[in-house]
Structure 1
Amino acid sequence: MELELRHLKIIRAIDEAGSLTRAATALGLAQSALSGQLKRIERALGGALFERDRAGARPTPLGELVLHRARVLLPAMRELHEEATRFTNSLEDIQRFRLGGTHGPLLGGLLDRLAGLYPTTPVSTLTTWSIEELGGLVAAGRLDFALAGVCGESTPPAADQLVWRAVGRDPVFVLLGEDHPLAGEGELHLSQLAREKWVFAPGDGCFGDCFAAACARAGFTPVPAYEADTSSCIHLVQVGRAVGLCRATFPPVPGVVTTPLADTPLVWRHLLGWHPDAPAAGAAPSVLLHARSVHEEAAHRNPRYARWLSEHEGFGTPA
């Protein structure tokens, strides 16, 4: 016989009651049935768990050992059951998902995951280049969740009103056309790109300032030749007009290679934000878990990033 949680509950009940008679009453069992179960448990564990006499039942040293473990395991299993129930109910109760995000694959991945898991729950999305706008919309109750990112350790918007939790932490890689002379390098120093023209997607965060500071440390001033949407940025890189930067979760694209930068001069944090008093706040732990799963999947779709992660700690999806 293998020891099960119900056996631990029996042992704990006997200890708390102080006798088999009172424990049997508390458990709704006949005393003979409880005595038989205790004997089977003791045979499985290899010794007596209680000393029994007219005064009641007192744990033996082996019984104390088992009780010590039971006091840890039983509450932990109860908490696991309650947490799993909350996880299931939180998403069953929500009537809709209103998601906002900056442009990128994670928002689409989260949308796809929620739509697949909850096909009868409406999902709407809003995309914008402005993380400040996203924070304002969540704070105002016009969005339930914002999937956005900030440079390095920068503070996300409306941090005094919203809850922000980490979805992933990525290095910033450089985007090169596959015919670029440096496209075959396993790693690049930022100084090797000093003469390049750069293309960027718009945004209102501090990434531009962080990039300029990283270039200054590398000994040059970058030439920001173009600002364009993501598709146009990729095209300009493909045809050799410019080089760009991307989060390491950037998916493989024909004609483009992503290359790590030595010493990781730039870092991007993906975040999920929500208002703690909003009706959808109860679903936040579940949505966060799904967002992290999407990030982990995205990280491993880029083989170069997957290899990079195996050699660098402190990045990727939080445990």
Structure 2
Amino acid sequence: MRKAAVQLGMTQPSLTTQLRRIETAIGGLLFTRGQTGSRPTPLGHSVLSRARPIVAEMAALVTAAREAAVGVGGVRLRLGSIGSRAVTGWLSRIHERLPETETTIHIEVSSNTLLQLLATNQLDVAFVHEAEGFPLHVPPGVERRVLIAREPRFVALSSAHAAASREVIHLAQLAQEAWIVDPTADDEATALRRAFTAAGLDPRLVHVRDTTTAAELVASGEAVRCCQPTADPTPGTVIRPLYGDPLTTQLSLACRPGSLPLVELDALFADLMDAYVAVSGRNTAYRAWLDRHGSPLLPSVGSH
């Protein structure tokens, strides 16, 4: 079950729940579970033997439909991305460079989900991030090109918070705060807990998926949350770097080798880098961080 969940880009509890729903709909047990894994029951063997040709036919239908759509509508480019202020600039550059190309974009919180969509030919490229110390589940046949090797995570807090006036904030100064995490984000909560454990602290985590609610909780002083250094502060909040950069991520562009011409992949990477540099240069807190650190991430955006 664990390996199947990884291949499908799902959590194991989600897969178990889905399997139970299928068994309920069919009216019988499909697998027996044991310490050595799962085995199909006789009913499971029967369902699998009938399902495999249906799945194959469906995959062929989807592929044929997509090829027909490209033939009718012209060239198409399917992008995937995590949420980022660089996305708008990335799209703008692509549209300017490829005005005749139909471009779509799929935004996801989970980079693992984007990689799975890429592996199953539902995306052409994907902009993903990986928390340091928590590798993504990269499917076979998918490769990544590193955009930013180590991007720091900042913290968003109320502008009325006692630490808001500080240029850099220590984790210990926020140890008593409630920290908002998105339960659908890959390893966000685990990475935060590890950082606090290393500092000898024990954070209180609040699971919030809605960004509007999260922003209001931060502005009201009810909680704080980690954020990308390129993010803009919402009304009533400030964004500050964390001392020692205890939380970092790697940004990369993922693709299936051969799915796009190398020259086009190079161009997409350059478009994304240009867009990232642009938003980084406009962000006061991140620009100051880059200047203080000698611009290890983006030399072109660094010290004057």
TM-score > 0.5, shorter chain as reference: yes
> Does structure 1 residue 184 correspond to structure 2 residue 165?
yes
Q: Deviations over 1:136-175 (max 9, x none)?
A: 1111211011011111254333264212112223211110
TM-score when scaled to structure 1? 0.66
Residue of structure 2 equivalent to 1:259 = 240
Distance 2:82 2:183 in 1: 10
Are 1:144 and 1:280, in contact at CA under 8 Å, matched by a contact in 2?
no
Residues in 1 aligned to 2:188 and 2:110: alpha-carbon distance in whole angstroms = 12
The 1-side partners of 2:297 and 2:182 are apart by: 23
Distance 1:280 1:156 in 2: 25
Contact 2:181–2:188 (CA under 8 A) maintained in structure 1: no
Residue in structure 2 matching 1:101, options 67, 81, 84: 81
5 Å-filtered alignment, 1:57-96, equals 95-96=75-76
Unaligned residue ranges in structure 1 (runs of 5+): 1-93
SS of equivalent to 2:251: strand
Contact 1:199–1:228 (Cα < 8 Å) also in 2: no
SS at match of 1:149: strand
| 1:197 aligned onto 2:172 | no
- Are the counterparts in 2 of residues 295 and 317 from structure 1 also a CA contact under 8 Å? no
Q: Which amino acid aligns with 1:151?
A: A
> Residue type of the partner of 1:116?
E
Residues 1:216 and 2:197 are matched in the alignment: yes
How far the C-alpha of 1:235 sits from its partner, in A, is: 2.0
Query: Does the CA-based 8 Å contact 1:170-1:249 persist in structure 2?
Result: no
Shift in Å, 1:113: 2.0
Q: Which piece of structure 1 moves more, 142-151 or 275-284?
A: 275-284
RMSD (Å), alpha carbons? 2.1
Whole-angstrom CA distance in 2 between matches of 1:158 and 1:237: 33
Partner of 1:86: none
CA distance in 2, matches of 1:248, 1:287: 22
Query: Which position in structure 2 is the counterpart of 1:301?
Result: 282
SS at match of 1:185: coil
Superposed, 1:8-47 pairs within 5 Å as: none
Amino acid at match of 1:167: L
**Structure 1 residues 318 and 281: alpha-carbon distance in aligned structure 2, compared to 1, 3 A threshold:** farther
SS at structure 2 position matched to 1:138:
helix
Q: Is the 2:191–2:247 contact (alpha carbons within 8 Å) kept by the matching residues of 1?
A: yes
TM-score (normalised: structure 2): 0.69
What's the secondary structure of 1:143's corresponding residue?
Answer: coil
**Secondary structure of 2:153's match?**
strand
Post-superposition Cα deviations, 1:37-78, rounded to whole Å, max 9, x if no partner, equal xxxxxxxxxxxxxxxxxxxxxxxxxxxxxxxxxxxxxxxxxx
Q: Quote the Cα distance in structure 2 between the aligned partners of 1:280 and 1:132.
A: 24
Do the aligned partners of residues 219 and 299 (structure 1) sit closer, same or farther apart at CA in structure 2, a change above 3 Å counting?
same
Distance 1:156-1:145 versus aligned 2 partners, 3 A rule: same
Q: Distance in 2 between matches of 1:156 and 1:120?
A: 34
CA deviation map 1:105-149 (0-9, x unaligned) = 222331222123322211101112221211111112110110111
Corresponding residue SS for 1:279: coil
Which residue does 1:66 correspond to in 2? Answer: none
Number of the residue aligned with 1:12? none
Q: In the aligned structure 1, how far is the partner of 2:193 from the partner of 2:228?
A: 17
Contact 1:198 1:222 in 2 (8 A): yes
Whether 2:104 is the aligned partner of 1:155: answer: no
Q: Which residue of 1 is the match for residue 112 of structure 2? A: 132
One-letter code aligned to 1:296: V
Letter in structure 1 aligned against 2:157: L
Name which of 141, 154, 165 aligns with 2:121.
141
Change (3 A) 1:269 1:98: same
1:291 to 272, 275, 278: 272
Call closer, same or farther: CA 1:318–1:289 in 2, change over 3 Å.
farther
Q: Secondary structure at the match of 1:100?
A: strand
The whole-number CA distance in structure 2 between the counterparts of 1:138 and 1:316 is 27
SS of the aligned residue for 2:287 comes to helix
- Kept in 1: contact 2:218–2:237 (CA 8 A): yes
Quick one: percent identity of the two aligned structures?
A: 27
Letter in 2 for 1:242: A
Q: Displacement, 1:270?
A: 1.5
Asked if the contact 1:166/1:318 (under 8 Å) is kept, the reply is: no
Label 1:105 to 1:262 Cα distance change in 2 as closer, same or farther (>3 A).
Answer: same
Match of 1:115 in 2: 95
Contact 1:187 1:262 in 2 (8 A): yes
Contact 2:183 2:189 in 1 (8 A): no
